[in-house]
Amino acid sequence: MNKKQIQNILKESSVSEELKHIAHTVLAGKRISPDEGLLFYKKGDLGFLGMLANYIREKKNKSNTYFNKNIHIEPTNICINHCKFCSYSRRQNEAGSWELSCDDILKKITGYKDAGITEVHIVGGVHPDRDLHFYGNLIRQIKKILPHIYVKAFTAVELDYMIKKSGYTIENGLKKLKGYGLDAIPGGGAEIFDEKIRKQICDEKSDSGLWLKIHEKAHQMGIPTNAAMLYGHIENYSHRIDHLDRLRKLQDITGMFQTFIPLKFRNKNNNLSHIKETTLVEDLKNYAVSRIFLDNFPHIKAYWPMIGKEVTQLSLSYGVDDIDGTIEDTTKIYSMAGSEEQKPALACDEIATLIKQVNRKPMERDTLYNVIRAY
């Protein structure tokens, strides 16, 4: 729908005058305030928010829907932290713990030599004994086997620990990792920035200021990063808007966030299992408000293994233009938390079909969003 059509619909609709006023701000290409974002969350119905989010999505990315050919490596689930929402972390030697050596990982990587993947995504637990050089060497060895691969690795929380363990400042640690071959940083570890909520769900984790600082320093040295938000647990709409606002402010300064990923809290096998998961309407609304509020983020990602293929298709009408990658059944983290896809793997053609079924244009991309193939 174009601007004129939306303006006409708004004229006829029963939407309140205060929401209409904010909608006109969005249509005029202006930024909405945190209070206005909050009002959207609280009072905006799904059709209204979806219409505006889709307008922004198409203005920024047309019908293009991005994905890549990627694998995940989860080197270990041994972790020094005890985040209440986490379903996969274990103590050292605890039943169910895993710890892949550098050689184990390189063997896996060798199996993908001819698979045409363009990205290795590495995220895992914060292992007490592994430092920056262990992981740096891992990146270097991976790139010897797959020289053209982008390595997008380690949440800011993992980075914080490994950099300090090796005695570097954040700046020098990131420089060192860049030298080893780190190309980009994923969006995890952000959870919810609000200090009171963070204390209740992941007290031991690097704090919000540090998460933002690590991403800022990475941006300053030319390393692009993603940003996530874990929602649907004990936070409320104000906490979500505060989270989005802190990201928007940093993006105003650096411009190096590539995509924003709302991560729906899944409640299996963790210490927050008593919390009911959010509904489909709530999930779509969250994508829509994120798309509208984060006017300086180029992309909004729906992580398909977490929410499933059909919800991913729906999300493409609520602001989402990026659906992660082929994955090749290489992640356990989310299946342990009860995600939709227990063995996530899709061939490029299957992803393209999913996207085309909802009249969007599939675009295979690399980690930096350069288009590799338009379908």
Q: Which residues bind ligand SF4 (CB under 6 A)?
A: 79, 81-83, 86, 89, 125-126, 157, 202, 205
Could you tell me the two tokens for 282?
């709530």
Nearer to ligand V47, 30 or 82 (CB): 82
Instruction: Give the pairing type, strands 361-365 and 371-374.
Output: antiparallel
Nearer to ligand SF4, 90 or 213 (CB): 90
Least gap, CB of 180 to ligand V47 (angstroms)? 19
Taking the C-alpha atoms of residue 297 and residue 370, their distance in angstroms, rounded to an integer, is 16
CA-based end-to-end distance of the chain: 23
Binding mask 44-83 for ligand V47 (x = CB under 6 A): ----------------------------------------
Three-class HEC string of 24-55? HHHHCCCCCCHHHHHHHHHHCCHHHHHHHHHH
Q: Using CA atoms in the order 140, 144, 150, 154, what is the torsion angle rounded to 10 degrees?
A: -30
Return the one option of ligand SF4, ligand V47, none that residue 81 interacts with (CB less than 5 to 8 A, by type): ligand SF4
50 binds, among ligand SF4, ligand V47, none (CB under 5 to 8 A by kind): none
- Chain positions 277 to 336 lying near ligand V47, rule: CB under 6 A, are 303, 324
**187 contact, one of ligand SF4, ligand V47, none, CB 5-8 Å limit per kind:** ligand V47
125 binds, among ligand SF4, ligand V47, none (CB under 5 to 8 A by kind): ligand SF4
Considering the complex, state which of residue 142 and residue 185 has its C-beta at the smaller distance from ligand V47. Answer: 185
Sheet architecture: strand order including 371-374? 322-325, 64-68, 361-365, 371-374
CA distance 99 to 76: 4
Distance CA 186, CA 81 (A): 19
For ligand V47, which residue has the nearest CB? Answer: 188
Interface with ligand V47 (CB under 6 A): 85-87, 123, 155, 186-189, 191, 226, 228, 230, 261, 263, 265-266, 270, 303, 324, 337
